[in-house]
Structure 1
């Protein structure tokens, strides 16, 4: 909703101000289809030229994050902490019994309680791989933390590609606008023998190219890139929480302490309160009893 509001404000303030200042839309509307064809078409071609098909598809999907926002919400962080509590509790009570959950997460009764988390392959894989490493006596917390850190850095780098691709397009749009404007000037110079009022309209049409390139770059594509980056970075906290809890577990802290470490490392606006989490964990403990 806030993304749509931002678009309305950009259009309203720019064109509303232009209209109130006495500007006429005739020249803009006449030149717009041709300028958009040149600028938008060139930007699209450059985008396709600089990315492979998988990156193109990922970018198109990620543009929806501008309107949807982060994938992981307040209740998802609470559910993740409950899931990790239950898995750690079982692993410490009977290391063998946790294997059925980490080897077949799709069929796990524990993962099945949290469908949204279960549907994310990277989250499930991150949890299962780390618990599996612990069961194989690969229990040096510092080594595990380093491995997890590198893995999450690689995932974050991949997830950021959409933002970088959009920002590259945003950086190129003003220059493409100048290209379109120069072509308009060339067209105008070929008609230099026309009356001033005709030349004025032709020059105005040429300047629409410069306007459109800058407008699209700083009014839309650049903000889209920034929003995608912000959403990806926020969602990355979900994976970092997994690292913090499971590394604390390898340090042999009490299970409640491991979960509290995770809670404290949750972003403030998504962090469940201590009381809220305790209530959720009580239900988990009762089910496990």
Structure 2
């Protein structure tokens, strides 16, 4: 006997939900555990009963997560407390619903409760709702970043807004690097002299070297990756996504080799899945790459960041 279209549709949507919920089971909170268990049990019952019979009482839902029958009578209040969270987990703009839409689902899941009277038991279950009326035109696996004006830049920002690495500028970069190396070599010499003046000079050189180390790590990352985030200590709180980036000097006529340019730029981007703000940060998960993370779903809505094309692709 073949399955009804409604039952087959419910099974397909439950399978997609199961795929999503199984990714982070080890960090699920109780509401997510309850939804995960409800999806699993509903899938299991799809094989044996009619779609209208896939319903659960308070006690049955309680037992799905707490693995024991409720002997204290607190199952109804416990499930009622989690009902709002279950509804939120299945909202049209939730991460799970967006994942199902991306996976091509024509229907989404909804947590349904039959509030009956007259002594009958209240039952709960997962039902289908149409996704056709959900606005999905903003959902995209590609995002665009734009350069925005830095509000009230400090003096050091103005100095480093745009530095062309040619001529005198390149000379100064090389000179400062050489001076730092000499400072490192001279510190032991002054400290070992033992005099107050020698120790004082060694400490000053050490402080200069310590400050320069951070700067040169910044420059090393910039040369290696083409982008490096400015240190938080130097960045005003109101400015987000502030980076040093390397570009090329604009082409002049048939010029072949154009010198590199270091620029200080602030970027802005919007999540392609939910439209919220993107924060650009370095990620260990993606081998030190800078990625754009959604402000409200930083684990699920992650995009690459290309400072040249100002584009990003959905990473997971």
TM-score tier (shorter): under 0.3
TM-score between both structures, scaled by the size of structure 2: 0.22
TM-score between both structures, scaled by the size of structure 1: 0.24
Higher strand proportion: 2
Q: Which has the larger radius of gyration?
A: 2
